[in-house]
Amino acid sequence: MHVNIFPISGFVQDSYNMFEMDGEMEKKKKKKIKKKEKLEGMKKEMDIVSNDSYNELEMRYNTSVTKGMTSTFAQQILERDGPNELKPPKGTPEYVKFARQLAGGLQCLMWVAAVICFIAFGIELSRGNLTCFDDLYLAITLIAVVVVTGCFGYYQEFKSTNIIASFKNLVPQQAVVIRDGKKNQINAYQLVVGDLVEIKGGDRVPADIRIITSQACKVDNSSLTGESEPQTRSPECTHENPLETRNIAFFSTTCLEGTAATGMIINTGDRTIIGRIASLASGVGNEKTPIAIEIEHFVDIIAGLAIFFGFTFFVVAMFIGYAFLEATIFFMAIVVAYVPEGLLATVTVCLSLTAKRLARKNCVVKNLEAVETLGSTSVICSDKTGTLTQNRMTVAHLWFDNHIHAADTTEDQSGQSFDQSSETWRSLARVATLCNRATFRPDQEGIPIPRRLVVGDASETALLKFTELTVGNIMDYRNRFKKVVEVPFNSTNKFQLSVHELEDPLDLRYLLVMKGAPERILERCSTILIKGQELPLDEQWSEAFQTAYMDLGGLGERVLGFCHIYLNEKEFPRGYRFDPDEMNFTTSGLCFAGLISMIDPPRATVPDAVMKCRTAGIRVVMVTGDHPITARAIAANVGIITEGSETVEDIAERKRIPVEQVNKRDARACVISGGQLKDMSSDELDDALRNHPEMVFARTSPQQKLIIVESCQGSIVAVTGDGVNDSPALKKADIGIAMGIAGSDAAKNAADMILLDDNFASIVTGVEQGRLIFDNLKKSIAYTLTKNIPELTPYLIYITVSVPLPLGCITILFIELATDIYPSVSLAYEKAESDIMHLKPRNPRRDRLVNEALAVYSYFQIGAIQSFAGFTDYFTAMAQEGWFPLLCIGLRSQWEDVHLQDLQDSYGQEWVNIKMCDWLGTGFLLPPCLFVCRNRVLVSAIVFQLLLGNLLCYCPGMPNIFNFMPIRVQWWFVPVPYGILIFVYDEIRKLGVRRYPGSKLKFITSLTIFFLSITLSTVHPVSSH
């Protein structure tokens, strides 16, 4: 399946079982078993390392936990293991990549055509015919088209390959290592397994290390796990899973706090966790974009038909009696006539126009083809933090006076505020303000409060901003209540307190304020503040507290309890020595003030965007590293879980039956945690995805994200994410969307699209534009297909009926590559059908870019009409010059005989060397303005086409270069009857289609095509001389 799946945690083992399904494929299975063994080995190693005693570690790595390794041994290990750095995967050589770009289906055909041209030119040259440079021009043009398109494709690919480079930025340059008992600073890449390293606050961890000694060491694991809070690191082994245990710190994570922790390196370079993520990300094959698949499908059809037609007429020509060389040239000409040379360029330009439009709306598309992918997307796996939410802890609810109050959580403080008149609120606000160590960074007066930078942890920051918004001028407020002592939060107490002098200099009491885990706070309280009154905390109030606590917890919010007490003036007089370690002061019998709960609130635009996705038939699945309750609360908040949807657990609770008895299909919603996921087989996961339309995955690891994405893939999956840990899933997804502001470089590099404003709502724009461009490309291709037939038929008639050649290859190339590109591209500017966002996403297996209906319509109907129009014009022009239609038939050999200088026409006139009259013109009928008003670009495209056509036709000198001759103005109007026919024909079918709106074919066959057809039918006839 994928060559480079490495485990990060124990989960992987189980999830790997799902790949064991394809029993038939012996080879693959063997490979997998091998890999499984390898993985198992890895896992074991990690486990042992986290459990090992120091002695075992020393034995294993031949090192010392105090003196480190010897330099010489370290050198040996370095030679054995290689340097401690992330190695880029072995890529295909650049020239191979470039060569691949030149060897696509159409390109191969064009190469063959070019070679045939060269051969033909060579033969002509050797026969001494120096006048005929057509074949040479043709060959050169064809090669130029292939090379230019190839360069473009190569450039596109080149831009999006450099993933590993972004991981390199994460890696520290220098590290302090202890070797031979001495501390040294060395380059990080020289570190080896068993080295003893020292890290302190601010350093990046230089490899995966097992902590030996530490003091209050905290690391930021957010890039790896998505946990935004700092994680404590200490020597004890707390969990058997290496990712969860506290005694292992990972390569590239930052040590936030702590002084001089030491650790022993247990993994270096690509064997580290980050190394594995990096290989995972770079190793996951880029899925082919749906539009690439569609275009390949189209190209296959075209190439197949081109060869079929070419070969058929090659045989026919041989049968009729043409020489082998001639028949070969016919083959070439048919290929040139049939292959839409300008198509790839048109598609690229259309896509880049859309990409530009998206960029203006804050979506930067890295991979051009990804522009359309969002339009076909039927599942979006969205990360929670930062994408759906503001990535900012904010106070959401307060509980005081036995009432839950909602705070304003909007980004711009536009929401409703709560009643702040209560005395209790004043007390609560005072506790929240004083019992808080967070401070604003200086010089931020001009910045709105929610956006100011704060020094402190997430919840304190939330409280600081909240109080600043509600109370105001917090720094000054704190200064008025001078802090005497404080006890910081620790995990055993689970509270934080501080003692302050009072604002009133005459009041000599001290005020003790405390906040912490609500149940711990409640334990220490004996009274409760209700409407400013201290009431005894009896059973009834306890119950009220419990209810409120459960309610807020159920919302997925982090709840803190607040209480205070005025210390007895006599017992604690001014100057009393408060000891924070001994806590020689009252810490019980306090007065409970209230609860404040915080959450990372959803962005204001998200619920609407999720709703839009839903109407557009797109399923939004939340995949987050956060806790299930929080995940669910946010999901419900933004509409991923809709109102009234229940999970299996909810139903069980409501019906008071065991979970097992609930019919899973009754539950619309489902929340699956990483722990549950690890025990599920892939079938179970597929079942879950199928049965529950509203899915939330919580506590997931990077691998699990990958597995979820793979399970969804069958339909087109978009993944949003920002962390390093998201990068494999971003890469694996059909379209990876990274956050521009919060996103790590690794995520941005793995993604196909970047949201500059981190706003989920931008995805909706992407979907809309993607769908629009798909529809518009359909129009472009319909236009291209229609054109093919009138380009091809002249050759077929030329070969079979031997009329003088109506339309030469050079002319065809001019039409394909010069005059027709702009009109094709202008179709990309077509406006969206109003209901574009109310349709379901297209089914990639059924709704093809080119389907039978479209081909039949373009080829056999409109194309046929145009061909007839072309021949009408051709025969008219010939007849008016003196060559009646019947005479033309079979005239070819005499017409092309260079030595025949007195060929008689229908009037008995004798013509000299008619070869010189390979007349061509590209003329156009001015399309009635009526039809083009809907799209201004199309008008300019037509004007452009006219001008260019006229330039080619009438510019003096053109006859000498390309044998183009000016055509008569009258001949432009000959095909008008056929134009009218196309119009009528199209109107009739539209009448039918109108009765069934919603049919996608409606706009393809609309007026646009009609009038473009008129243009075309005039192009060919005129050029067909």
Partner 1 sequence: MIEKEEKEEKEENKEEMKQMKEKESCQDLIYNPRTGESHPSLLPVFYGFLAGMFSLTMWVMLQTLDENVPRYQDRVANPGLVIRPHAAEISFNRSDQTNYNQYVQQLHKLLQDYNDSLQERNDLCLVDEYTEQDDKPLKKVCQFKRSTLRQCSGLTDNSFGFAEGKPCIIIKMNRVRTTTEDNPLQMQYFPSEGRLDKMFFPYYGKKAHSDYVQPLVAVKLLLTKDDYDVEQMVECRVEGSHLRNDDDRDKFQGRVSFRVKVSNVEI
Q: How many residues bind partner 1 (CB under 8 A)?
A: 59
Asked if 916 is part of the footprint of partner 1 (rule: CB under 8 A), the reply reads yes
Q: How far apart are CA 32 and CA 6, in angstroms?
A: 12
CA 513 – CA 585 distance, rounded (Å) = 12
The helix (H) or strand (E) run that includes residue 522 is: helix 518-523
Q: Decide if 924 contacts 942 (C-beta within 8 A).
A: yes
Q: Is 453 in the site for partner 1 (CB under 8 A)?
A: no
Residue among 535, 864, 951, 1007 that touches partner 1 (CB under 8 A): 864
Asked whether position 996 contacts partner 1 by CB under 8 A, the answer is: yes
| CA–CA–CA angle 17, 619, 638 (5° rounding) | 115
The letter for the amino acid at 478 is R
Nearer to partner 1, 875 or 895 (CB): 875
Contact status: 962 vs partner 1 (CB under 8 A): no
CB-wise, 792 or 993, nearer to partner 1?
Answer: 993
Choice from 913, 935, 940, 950 touching partner 1 (CB under 8 A): 913
- If the CB atoms of residues 369 and 905 are measured against partner 1, the closer one turns out to be 905
Inter-residue contact 357 to 570 (CB < 8 Å): no
129 by Cβ neighbours in 10 Å (0-12 / 13-18 / 19+) ranks as exposed
Q: Of 388-396, 641-649, 651-659, 897-905, which part binds partner 1 (CB under 8 A)? A: 897-905
User: Helix 324-338 vs helix 290-320: angle between axes, to the nearest 10 degrees?
Assistant: 150
Which of 135, 203, 208, 383 is flagged as catalytic? 383
Judged by DSSP in three states, 262 sits in: strand
Does residue 880 interact with partner 1 by CB under 8 A? yes
Q: Does 17 interact with partner 1 (rule: CB under 8 A)?
A: no
Q: Which residues contact 507 (CB under 8 A, 6 or more apart)?
A: none
Q: Which of 155, 308, 311, 907 touches partner 1 by CB under 8 A? A: 907
Closer residue to partner 1, CB minimum distance, 49 or 993: 993
Is 964 near partner 1 (CB under 8 A)? no
Please choose, out of 260-268, 326-334, 724-732, 898-906, the segment that lies near partner 1 by the rule CB under 8 A.
898-906
Give the shortest CB-976-to-partner 1 separation in angstroms.
Answer: 10
Q: Residue 26 corresponds to which tokens in the numbers above?
A: 């012996």
- Counting other chains too, the contacts that 474-478 makes at CB distance below 8 Å and 24 or more residues apart are 474/433, 475/439, 475/440, 477/433, 478/433, 478/434
Evaluate whether 415 touches 395 at the Cβ level (below 8 Å): no
The DSSP output letter for 957 is: T
Binds partner 1 by CB under 8 A, chosen from 751, 993, 1016, 1022:
993
Show the binding pattern over residues 196-225: x = contacts partner 1 (CB under 8 A), - = does not: ------------------------------
What single-letter DSSP state applies at residue 325?
H
CB of 338 to partner 1, least distance (A): 20
Which residues are CB-neighbours of 801 under 8 A, at least 6 positions away? Answer: 889, 890
Considering only residues 664 through 703, tell me which ones interact with partner 1, judged by CB under 8 A. 686
**Whole-number Å distance between alpha carbons of 474 and 454:** 13
Q: Could you say whether residue 311 binds partner 1 (CB under 8 A)?
A: no
Q: Is 989 in the site for partner 1 (CB under 8 A)?
A: yes
180 binds partner 1 (CB under 8 A): no
Binding residue (CB under 8 A) for partner 1 from 59, 103, 853, 947: 853
Closer residue to partner 1 in complex, CB, 551/881 = 881
Q: How far is the CB of 849 from partner 1 (least distance, A)?
A: 17
Judged by CB under 8 A, does residue 981 bind partner 1? yes
Cβ atoms of residues 998 and 835 within 8 Å: yes
Residue span binding partner 1 (CB under 8 A) among the ranges 262-270, 466-474, 476-484, 904-912 = 904-912
Q: Is 176 helix (H, G, I), strand (E, B) or coil?
A: strand
Would you say 870 and 805 are in contact if contact means Cβ atoms under 8 Å apart? Answer: no
Run of H or E including 363: strand 363-365
Q: Specify the stretch interacting with partner 1 by CB under 8 A; choose among 54-62, 729-737, 762-770, 990-998.
A: 990-998
Q: In angstroms, rounded to a whole number, what is the distance separating the alpha carbons of residues 416 and 410?
A: 9
Binding residue (CB under 8 A) for partner 1 from 881, 887, 939, 951: 881
Are the beta carbons of 837 and 775 closer than 8 angstroms?
no
Choose which of 549, 871, 931, 1003 interacts with partner 1 (CB under 8 A): 871
- Contact between 890 and partner 1 per CB under 8 A: no
- Report if residue 103 touches partner 1, rule: CB under 8 A: no
Is-contact 19 1, C-beta < 8 A?
A: yes
885 contributes a contact to partner 1 by CB under 8 A = yes
CA dihedral 371, 372, 377, 382 (to 10 degrees): 0
Interface with partner 1, residue 899, by CB under 8 A: yes
Smallest Cα–Cα separation from 111: which of 88, 87, 138, 90? 138
Told to check if 60 binds partner 1 by CB under 8 A, we report no
- Please name every residue paired with 534 in a beta bridge, in sequence order, or none if there are none: 529
Whole-number minimum distance, CB 797 to partner 1, in Å?
12
Least separation, in Å, of the C-beta of 654 and partner 1?
31
* Binding flag, residue 792, partner 1 (CB under 8 A): no
Does 910 sit near partner 1 (CB under 8 A)?
Answer: yes
Contacts of 282 (CB under 8 A, 6+ apart): 4, 88, 89, 163, 164, 731
Helix (H) or strand (E) holding 469: helix 458-470
Query: Residue 566 corresponds to which tokens in the numbers above?
Result: 């005025």
The H-or-E segment that residue 623 falls in is strand 619-623
Q: Coil, helix or strand for 501?
A: strand
Q: For partner 1, which residue of 85, 287, 905, 918 counts as binding (CB under 8 A)?
A: 905
Rule CB under 8 A: say whether 884 interacts with partner 1. Answer: yes
Helix-helix angle 458-470:423-434, to 10 degrees: 140
Rule CB under 8 A: say whether 30 interacts with partner 1.
no
The answer to whether the Cα torsion of 861, 862, 867, 868 is positive or negative is: positive
Determine if 977 is a binding residue for partner 1 (CB under 8 A): yes
51 binds partner 1 (CB under 8 A): no
Q: Which of 814, 868, 895, 1010 touches partner 1 (CB under 8 A)?
A: 868
For residue 899, the minimal CB distance to partner 1 (Å) is 6
- The residues near 583 (Cβ < 8 Å, ≥ 6 apart) are 487
State yes or no: residue 846 binds partner 1 (CB under 8 A): yes
Is there binding between residue 247 and partner 1 (CB under 8 A)? Answer: no
Site string for partner 1, 824-843 (x = CB under 8 A): -------------------x
User: Does position 80 bind partner 1 by CB under 8 A?
Assistant: no
Which residue type does 332 have? M
Of 24 and 445, which CB lies nearer to partner 1 in the complex structure?
24
- Is 726 marked active-site? no
Distance CA(351)–CA(543), nearest Å, equals 62
Residue span binding partner 1 (CB under 8 A) among the ranges 166-174, 479-487, 526-534, 974-982: 974-982
Amino acid at 646: E
Q: Which is nearer to partner 1, 360 or 846 (CB)?
A: 846
User: Rounded to whole angstroms, how far apart are CA atoms 972 and 1018?
Assistant: 6
362 binds partner 1 (CB under 8 A): no
Residues that bind partner 1 (CB under 8 A): 1, 19, 21-22, 24-25, 686, 714, 843, 845-846, 853, 856-857, 860-861, 864-865, 868, 871-872, 875-876, 879-882, 884-885, 899, 901-902, 904-913, 916-917, 960, 968, 974, 977-978, 981, 988-989, 992-993, 995-996, 998-999, 1001
Residues that are catalytic: 383
